[in-house]
Amino acid sequence: MFEIRDPSFHDIIAESAKMETVADGFTFTEGPIWHPTEHWLVFSDIAESRQYRWSENAGLTVFRCPSNQANGNAFDREGRIISGEHAASRLIRHDHGGKLIQPIATHYEGKELNSPNDVVVDGKGRIWFTDPVFGRIREDLGILRDQQLDVQGVFRLDPDGLLALVADDFQQPNGLCFSSDESMLFINDSWGPTIRSFTVKDDGALGGGDVWATVTGDGEGVPDGMKVDLQDRVFCNGPGGVHVFAPDGRCLGVIKTPEKSTNFCFGGPDRSVLFITASTSVYRIQTETQGAPMIPGQ
């Protein structure tokens, strides 16, 4: 269940914690997000081009189908869902429970985006997303087609609609998350396999970018989804499961998953339950910590 690399790991996950199956029977689950007041989970099944909603009371329902092989999801400041679509190469916003879709980013300098992957929103309403090429080179994750952009980059979409390329030196950027005070942005590279740390300047530009940690271990998986808890520990998918890093970049241990894990989020009434998407299933495990708020500013 656990790979312990530092004794403090069990301050985060109790030794007695058990992993439970929330839902199964999927093909490639990704992008879970938890609504803090309505207490439901939305996640994607990329290969089946569906997005689902699950709650303890209502169980599992289809949120959106087809989803253009949507991957990562996030809430904006108004609680609307932002999704990256692999097949359509665009970032979209859901209104009215997934029934009204508004594209908000489709091209950069006249060229189609690659396949927007993971997305986060900061307290200023700026939307940040990674744009690897997976949705163009893997048939199970998108549509096979040529790449138009010259880079696999990281973008910032401002509230006024301006789209800026903020990092262009990744092999395949994937997961990203802010430190709890939003002064740092962590971005991982699935082909690194590394996590890099950037300082966030007032104007939205990024500084630094040094390798903060290398994600290594046994089992299937690469750096993928990423979140922080309120103590600025970084959680990141990797070989064998979800890797937990101290604020100084030391890996404290791995939450082992039954299948290759792709992403996760903190949820439950107090954001202490870790919901993990892993291939054909969604799992959950109780932690001893709390994740950062899912809706910016809350």
Residues 12 and 45: their CA atoms lie apart, in Å, by 29
- Residue 95 pLDDT: 80
- Residue 38 pLDDT: 94
Helix (H) or strand (E) holding 168: none
Residues 241 and 250: their CA atoms lie apart, in Å, by 16
| CATH 2.120.10.30 for domain 2-286 | yes
pLDDT greater than 70 at residue 96: no
Query: Residue 284, Cα to own-chain centre: how many angstroms?
Result: 16
Give the mean model confidence (pLDDT) for residues 105-122: 98
User: Which ranges of the chain does DSSP label H, i.e. alpha helix?
Assistant: 134-137
Residues 132 and 170: their CA atoms lie apart, in Å, by 9
- For the chain, the average pLDDT equals 96
pLDDT by residue (tens digit) across 49-76? 999 999 999 999 999 999 999 999 999 9
Which residues on adjacent β-strands are paired with residue 227?
Answer: 235
The reported pTM is: 0.96
pLDDT greater than 70 at residue 98: no
Give the mean model confidence (pLDDT) for residues 211-219: 96
Phi, psi of 9 (to 5 degrees): -55, -40
Give the mean model confidence (pLDDT) for residues 134-150: 95
